[in-house]
Structures are given as structure tokens and as C-alpha cells.
Amino acid sequence: MTDSKTPLPLLPLLASKSTASVAQTLSQLRIALPNEHLCLIEDLTPKQLATVDVAITANPPAQHLDAWLDQLPNLVWLQSLWAGVEQLIASARIRQLQIVRLVDPELARAMAEAALAWTLYLHRQMPEYAQQQRDQQWQPLPWRRASNCRVTVLGLGELGRACAERLHANGFDVAGWSRSSRTLPGIRCYSGAAGLADVLPVTDIVLVLLPLTDQTRALLNTQTLALLPPGAALINFARGAVINTEDLLEALDQRKLRHAVLDVFETEPLPIEHRLWTHPLVTVLPHIAAPTDPASAIQIVARHIETYRRTGKIPPSVDLQRGF
Ligand code: NAP
């Protein structure tokens, strides 16, 4: 218990008052962390800001983040409410700041559900049947078993593994690709550049769940897309820049790829004039594959903060050199 005379430690949320849902996030954090003084960074004085050693954020725009971090000279670590933290990496590197990202089993479950939903969408030819309905065309297409549909998950981390396992449990022929070699029951595992060249030619649906790093930027481009068999399809749930969009559009225009389901884009929201919006072989989603579930995420964040206050231990943080 905290002595009623001892001021509670300040725990700022790096978010702007104008951000949607910020008031709700603050009040949920206050309930979960009664021994912290939760506040918005904008409401603190310079003297108060100098006492802050840990803060919480939810991927603010880079220019806001840098301005806020500059006001926190004694910040040691930053807890993200998101799993993907590539927007925070550059700012953290120059300040030697530790970043703790959200690792939440509920998030993995949501991502696995999305992976299954959109894999079935492609496997059961829903884009083609939707087009046929628009054209008032009655034309059954060839059907094949899920066990004859080869799905490759690029990235076998917290989210990729959950997706690969769910797809395998639903009868798909699943492969996975990662940096280091891995073993997962029932899943064909590949790694490294040679592994990518081996697995893409035997893939019907590619599901991208890689973090965006210097190594994965534009990993899917004209050369790598050309390794896929004709008529393969693609789902991107990771980050827009993992795929070279112009190269993807060219592969779609040339009908080398059957369809692309895109949940993430280099610029979000996707600009209104962008070709992807109206391309007949593209399904655009507004970054909804696996939203943070406040109910579970806030409990995880609260446990991290409580442990830190009690023991001084910072939870496992992102490797800033590796970039994820
Ligand atoms: P993670 O646990 O850090 O796993 C990353 C995986 O990618 C690991 O298997 C890693 O290989 C692999 N990898 C990294 N660099 C690689 C490279 N150069 N070559 C081959 N494999 C590489 O990440 P996660 O929690 O699964 O999240 C993945 C991404 O999902 C996030 O970074 C974020 O961009 C995205 N995301 C999207 C949404 C959405 O709603 N659309 C929601 C949450 C997250 P090793 O295992 O060998 O290290």
C-alpha cells in the first residue's frame, strides 16, 4: 500500500487530447493502476516531466513522439499498447530508450481468426463469386480441398505462429518462414534467403506477418513475387512497406497473382486517389486484422508497471539493433 502522504509516481500517456478514445484508455489505465498518477503528457509541468522514468504510448505520429520524448530527460522505458513498434524504433535508438511492445495472447487469437477468415475468403474464391454476382454470371469454379491449398506464413513470431497453427488445425497445408530455423508440429518450416526461394514456388496463399525492418522492407517485390506459382494470392497483415506496392500492382495487372487482401499500407488511411482502392483484384481493409483488445492489453501493461515499481525490472524489450 502507498502511504496517503506519498505522492503517486507520475505515469504519462503519450497521446494527444484530440486522439479518439484517449479518455477511455486513461480511465481504464487508472482503474488497473490505482497506485500510479495516470495523466496525459500535455498536462505535466517541466518539473513533473523530469521525474518520469516510464511512460505508455499507442504509436503516435513520429513528429509528436519526438517532441514528447524530448520533454522526458529521465525516461528509461516506454510501454507500447501495440504489438508493431517500428514507428518507435528510430526515436528510441537515438535516445537509448527501451521499448516494451504488447505481447498479448488475445491479440494472437484475433490475428489467427483473421488469418483463417481471409484465407477461407481466398480459398473458397469469394472475390471471384462476388464479381460473378456483379456480372450476373452463374459459373461454378473448380473446388479443391483445404489440404491441397498451400498457405505460407512469412514470420513465425507471436502472431505468425498462432496463425500457422490455426490454419493447420483447419486442414490447410501450412508452411512458415522465419529468420532463424524453427520447428513447429505439422508445419513445414523454412528460414533465410534460401528458404524463401524454396517455399514461394510451392505456395498458393502467402500470409505476411513480418515486422518492418531494414531487411524486410520491400521484401516482396517483382523478383520474389515472380517465384510464386501463377494464380497465387497474398494477404498482408504486417506493414504496407514489406511489399513494394508498384511491383504488386504490376503482378496483379498481369494476372500473375489472383488476388491481394491488404490490411496495411505505407500511408494510412490509404489516400483516396490510390489505385489500390478500385483495383478489381484487391480487397482493402482498414488495418483491422488484430486490434488491441483494451480489456486484456491494459491488464498486461498494468502487470509490467507494477513489477517494475516493485523490483526495478523492465519487461523483455525490443532489440533496437535488430529492429523488432
Ligand atoms: P514477432 O513476434 O517479433 O515475430 C517476428 C517474426 O518475423 C519472427 O519469426 C522473425 O524471425 C521473423 N523475421 C523478422 N525479420 C525477418 C527476416 N529478415 N527474415 C525472415 N524472418 C524474419 O512479431 P509478431 O508479434 O508476430 O508481429 C508481426 C507483425 O504483425 C508486427 O511487427 C506488426 O507489423 C504486425 N501487426 C499487425 C496488426 C494488424 O492488425 N494488421 C496487429 C498487430 C501486429 P525469428 O523468429 O527467426 O526471429
Instruction: State pLDDT tens for residues 91-139.
Output: 999 999 999 999 999 999 999 999 999 999 999 999 999 999 999 999 9
Let me know if 287 is a catalytic residue: yes
Name which of 224, 123, 109, 223 is nearest 177 in CA terms: 224
User: In whole angstroms, what is the distance from residue 98 CA to residue 158 CA?
Assistant: 20
Name which of 135, 121, 50, 65 is nearest 95 in CA terms: 65
How do the domains of the chain map onto residue ranges?
10-104+292-311, 106-284
Let me know if 275 is a catalytic residue: no
CA distances from 26 to 32, 45, 51 (A): 10, 19, 20
Which grid coordinates belong to 149?
491449398
Q: 10-104+292-311: which CATH architecture?
A: 3-Layer(aba) Sandwich (3.40)
Per-residue confidence (pLDDT) for residue 4, from 0 to 100: 60
User: Is 106-284 in the same CATH topology as 10-104+292-311?
Assistant: yes
User: In whole angstroms, what is the distance from residue 51 CA to residue 62 CA?
Assistant: 23
Residue closest via CA to ligand 1's atom 42 equals 290
Question: For residue 206, how many C-alpha atoms fall within 13 Å in the half-sphere facing its CB?
Answer: 34
Ligand 1 lined by 240 (C-beta under 6 Å): no
Residues 210-263 have pLDDT tens digits of: 999 999 999 999 999 999 999 999 999 999 999 999 999 999 999 999 999 999
The CATH superfamily of 106-284 is NAD(P)-binding Rossmann-like Domain (3.40.50.720)
Ligand 1 lined by 104 (C-beta under 6 Å): no
Residues 30-81 have pLDDT tens digits of: 999 999 999 999 999 999 999 999 999 987 877 899 999 999 999 999 999 9
CA of 239 to the centre of ligand 1 (A): 10
End-to-end Cα spacing for the chain = 36
What are the b/e assignments for 27-57, b being 16+ CB within 10 Å? ebbeebbeebebbbbeebeeeebeebebbbb
